[in-house]
Amino acid sequence: MLFEVWAPGAGRVALQWAGDRSDEPPVPLEPAPGRPGWWRAEAPARDGDRYAFRLDDGPPRPDPRAARLPEGPGGPGAVVEHAGFAWRHPWPGRPLPGAVLYELHIGTYTPEGTFDAAAARLGHLSDLGITHISLMPVCPFPGTHGWGYDGIAPWAVHEPYGGPDGLKRFVDAAHGHGLGVVLDVVHNHLGPSGNHLPEFGPYFTDAHHTPWGAAVNLDAPGSDEVRGYLIGSALGWLRDYRIDGLRLDAVHALHDDRAQHFLAELSAAVDALAAQLRRPLFLIAESDRNDPRTTAPRASGGLGLHAQWNDDFHHALHTALTGESHGYYADFARDPLAALAKTLTGGFFHDGGHSSFRGRRHGAPLDLRTTPPHRLLAYAQTHDQIGNRAHGDRLTAALSPGLLACAAALVLCSPFTPMLFMGEEWGARTPWQYFTDHPDPELAEAVRAGRRREFAAQEGGAAHGDGLDADWPDPQDPATRDRCVLDWAEPSAAPHAALLSWYRTLLALRRTQPALTDPDPSRTRLTHDASARWLLLRRGPVHLAVNLASEGTSTIPVGPAGASRFEAVAGWPRPLYPEADGTLHLPAESAVVWVGDGAADGVGDGVGDVP
C-alpha cells in the first residue's frame, strides 16, 4: 500500500505503526520524484491498520488525509479500503432542481446519536416527501457530542457516529429509500483541539483572519497544496461515500486573493467528477454576501456553485411571524410582509440597498430569469437560526400551530428549493442549543465564557442583570445535548400529528403540481396587505393565501367570479374555497392552497401587488 504525505519543511519522515502493529519498526519515507514537499513509501497494510507519521524524529502525528481516526482527534489514523465496502443499492443520483432538503444532525436525531440509529428512521423522511437529507458535519471533533463545526480532519468521519463504514451504511440506506444525501463541510477553518496540520506545512495563514481562528491558506505560498487538500477531501465524499452534494459552510470566510477563486476551482472539479461518475453532483454555499456571482456560471465570471442558502427569505419570514426586530432583523421588521414579498419574487432583500445592521449598502440584484429560483434555498428554521439563540428555542416555542402551518406553506410553495430542520415538520418542542464536549478544560471554559458574552448581548439579555451571570445553557453540560434530542413520541401525539399531516399534504402538492417547481419567475405573482397581514402567492394555477393576523377574518380579493375551476385544495385548519364573487374569507392564523385553471392568474386589487 502506498503511504504519502506533504511535509515541505521536514528533513526526515517516517511511518510509525500503532495499535496491533506498534511493535513493528518505523518505515522511512523518501522524497517523491517530481512532487516537491511530498514523501512516500510502500508498505504492506490492510483495512484497520493504525499508523501515524513522525517528522524529523518528532512525536507521532495523524495523517492529514487519514480517512479514519479511531481514537479521535490527534490520535493515529487507520487504513480504510473504500473499495471493500459492499454497497447494496445502485444509485443514479438525484439532482437539486425539484428537491426538498431536510437538515439533520446525527448526534441528536436519535437518542443513540449514531448513523445506524438515524438510518432506522429514514422511512419517516421518505414517507414525508423529502428528497435529500442535509447532514450537519461528520468530521472528527473533540469528545462525543457537538455540532461538528470544530472538526479537525476533513478526510475522516467522527468515530462515535460510526466512522467511515457507518456513514456508508447510512448513505446506502438513504439511497435505498430514494433519498439523496448532502454533507455539510467546513473549509474556512479547522478546530484547535488535536490539530497538528501546522507541523506538516503552511495550511494556515496570518494574512487573513476568521471569527473562529486562523484562516486556511488559500492564496499564500504553499496554497496550491492546501487547495488540493480541501478539493481532494470534497471529491472523496462524493466519490468514496456516494454523497450527492456538499453544503459549504460560511464561504464568505474563505479568504482568497488569487485570480481563480478556490470555489471556482472546486466547482470545476465537482462538475468534472459528475461527468465521470455519470450522476448529478452539486455544491450549496452558505454565504452572507448576497452576491449573484456565487451561483453564476464560471464562464460568465461566477464561481459556478449550484445553489446558496438565502437568509433574506428566512429573516423576512421570521419577522413576519414573530415581530422580532433586533439585530439583523431590523431592516426586515420595518415592513415584514413587503420584505417577504420582495424575497419571494426577487430572491434577495438586500440587493444593493442600505443595511442598517451592517451600516452600509449590501448585496446586488439577482435576476431570476438567468438564475433559476431553485438555486436559492428557502427555510423557516435552520441549525444556525435556532441554535444561535440564547435558549435554542424553535418557532414552536413562540408561535401557534396556525402560524407554524402558515410558515410551512410559505416555504413549501415558494419558488425556491425548500429546506426543513429536523423535527420542524411536527412542531418539535425540543430546543436546539449549542453544545460541545471539549476535553481540554481551558478550551471548555473559553467556550462557556464566549457563549455567555454572546447570549448577554442578545435581545433580552439586560433582563438578567448584566447578562453574564444569567442561567444560560452550559455548552459543556451533557444535559444541554440531551435536551436537543428529538422526541419521537411527539409525531403521533396532538397537536404534532396534525402539523405533520399538513407538511405531508404540502409536500404531496409540491410533487404533483408542476407549477410549484416551475423556474419561470414570470409565473409567480404576489399580493399582500401589510395592515391586514394577509398574503396571496400565485404560481401559475396554484394559489396560496395566508392570514398572519392574530385575530379577525381577512377578505382577500382572489379574482373575478367563476374565473377558476378548482382541482385540488388544502387548508389549515380546514380547506376553504373563494366565494362566487372572487373573494376569500380567511380566518386569522390560517392558510389555504387551491389549484385552478390559471385563468385568474395575474389578477390583483392593486394592494401591494408585486409582479
Work out whether strand 282-285 and strand 307-309 pair parallel, antiparallel, or are unpaired: parallel
Q: Residue 341's closest CA among 376, 316, 366, 321?
A: 316
Q: Which of 63, 256, 286, 424 is catalytic?
A: 286
Cα torsion at 592, 596, 602, 605 (round to 10°)?
Answer: -50
Look at residues 435, 416, 415, 412 and name the one whose alpha carbon lies nearest to residue 425: 412
Residues in the chain: 611
User: Cα(177)–Cα(84) distance, rounded to whole angstroms?
Assistant: 23
The CA distance from 323 to 37, in Å, is: 57
> What does the CA dihedral 278, 225, 181, 542 come to, rounded to 10 degrees?
-80
* Residue 44 burial (C-beta neighbours within 10 Å; 0-12, 13-18, 19+): exposed
Nearest 5°: the CA angle 362, 259, 364 is 15
Instruction: Please report how the helices 262-277 and 223-240 are oriented relative to each other, as an axis angle in degrees rounded to 10.
Output: 30
Q: Are 405 and 499 in contact (CB under 8 A)?
A: yes
* C-beta separation of 107 from 140 below 8 A: no
Contact 13, 31 (CB under 8 A): no
Decide: residue 449, CB within 10 A, 0-12 exposed, 13-18 middle, 19+ buried. Answer: exposed
24 is an active site residue: no
For residues 162-182, b (16+ Cβ closer than 10 Å) or e, as one string? bbbbbbbbbbbbbbebebbbb
Sequence-distant contacts of 484-487: CB under 8 A, at least 24 apart: 484/108, 484/392, 484/430, 484/431, 484/432, 484/433, 484/435, 485/108, 485/109, 485/110, 485/111, 485/113, 485/430, 486/108, 486/109, 486/110, 486/422, 486/423, 486/428, 486/430, 487/428, 487/429, 487/430
Spot the catalytic one: 159, 184, 249, 384: 249
286 catalytic, yes or no?
yes
Cell of 284: 450549496
- Provide the annotated active-site residues: 249, 286
